[in-house]
Structure 1
């Protein structure tokens, strides 16, 4: 019955839930969860999975020429980049605060 449930989740494209449910049954933690904890766990994992897939789709759709990260930035003195400022901008706190930035 558990395998049927997992298969139905996959057919419904609930990939995060199916992985989470599979892991919970294999690890034996399913018995220790209350029904509301189980539902919360499944929904949380499905949410995370969808967010990750959305981000992956967006990155692929953007067709960036290079796959670069903040950690790969070149901060040599000749480039005159303020490392502290760029790292502060990279954490995205200004977005959550609703602030604007102007880069020149």
Structure 2
């Protein structure tokens, strides 16, 4: 088998996952009993897995989530009124595909931001682009952008995002998107409000 030329070609083509898997299989004597199709399936699966992981890492970095949270680490035993079924349904991300926006409400300190970041991380894994913003800062930036010519460009960037997470939403009400603006009405937005009770609301 022309191992080194094959490895060189895979790397030249940017197929690093396949190259790594090829090296590993070539070093295993039992792998020589595999059919060509089985080798190819293993190499393709490794390449696909590597690419999915790289896309996730890129999206997670761009999202700038406040917490390194994961849905599978959610503590449903905590006394905060979180409905497991509703939360896990939200983790399926269908509401993003349908362009809906859930609302997480509850008193300060019960974990709304953590839960939102867990859903944001899951959205990144599902290959959605995500942006996390604290509402006061984002709305201040929008207000300033109105006066210096950056407003349309900022809205365009927001509109390209699959999911916008707005934390501390209830703290600012003086800046809103009008129905005529590109991001209004079609950008799935997860909003977090401070109230007396936490609930993962059904998608609106």
TM-score norm. by structure 2 comes to: 0.42
Q: Distance in 2 between matches of 1:4 and 1:52?
A: 27
Shift of 1:18: 0.6
Q: Distance in 2 between matches of 1:2 and 1:38?
A: 14
In the alignment, structure 2 segments of 5+ residues that lack a partner are: 104-204
Q: Give the match for residue 103 of structure 1.
A: 102
Aligned residues: 99
Q: Structure 2 matches for 1:1-104, cutoff 5 A? A: 1-70=2-71, 71-73=73-75, 76-77=78-79, 79-90=80-91, 92=92, 95=94, 102-104=101-103
The structure richer in strand per residue is 2
Query: Is the 2:7–2:22 Cα contact (8 Å) retained in structure 1?
Result: yes
* CA distances 1:34-82 after superposition (whole Å, capped 9, x unpaired): 22222222122212211121111111111112211121457532x3221
Q: Distance in 1 between matches of 2:74 and 2:87?
A: 12
Shift of 1:25: 0.7
In terms of Rg, which structure is larger? 2
Shift of 1:101: 5.6
In the alignment, structure 1 segments of 5+ residues that lack a partner are: none
TM-score norm. by structure 1 comes to: 0.73
Runs of 4+ in structure 1 displaced over 6 angstroms? none
Higher relative contact order (CA 8 A, sep 6+): 2
Alpha-carbon spacing, 1:33–1:13, altered in 2? closer, same or farther (3 Å): same
Q: Distance in 2 between matches of 1:74 and 1:65?
A: 20
